[in-house]
Amino acid sequence: MDQIIIDIEDNDNCGYFPMQVFEVQGEARSSAVITIPSVPGSDEPHDVAGWCSEAGEDGGPCDATAVAVGDSGAGQVIMIHGGDHGIRMRPASSGSPWSLSSADQIGEPYMLIASSSEIVFSD
């Protein structure tokens, strides 16, 4: 089986995150923006973009990828992961551009959501 290795160096989007390895259990699909039904602490749908160092001094958006992976605590889940600086999330209703200075956005190294979640790809 294929594996995904997440190893995020310290950055302004999400900070250092030690290496994690996940077993791939499905086909990956990438998109500029992936909309997920909710995030912890909110029942509102959120847009997710990858965050990459290549996109400028503070990093910037790049493709996000969704793929089914094995998780020791939850069985099969969907992992949303992005670039070398993790992922960036904002409420789907937000009109703010992707930016580290946007108050309604948060950065994470990656996100695991239930495999039954309905996600929407921008393309």
- Report the alpha-carbon angle 68-28-102, nearest 5: 90
Candidates 85, 66, 95; CA nearest to 14 is 85
Mean pLDDT by 10 residues, the chain (123 residues): 90 91 94 91 92 86 95 86 95 93 95 92 84
- Please give the pLDDT value at position 90: 96
- Please give the pLDDT value at position 84: 93
Domain ranges of the chain: 3-121
Candidates 115, 114, 116, 112; CA nearest to 48 is 112
Candidates 45, 63, 65; CA nearest to 118 is 45
- Please give the pLDDT value at position 1: 65
CA distance 115 to 123: 21
Q: How many CB atoms lie within 10 A of CB 55?
A: 15
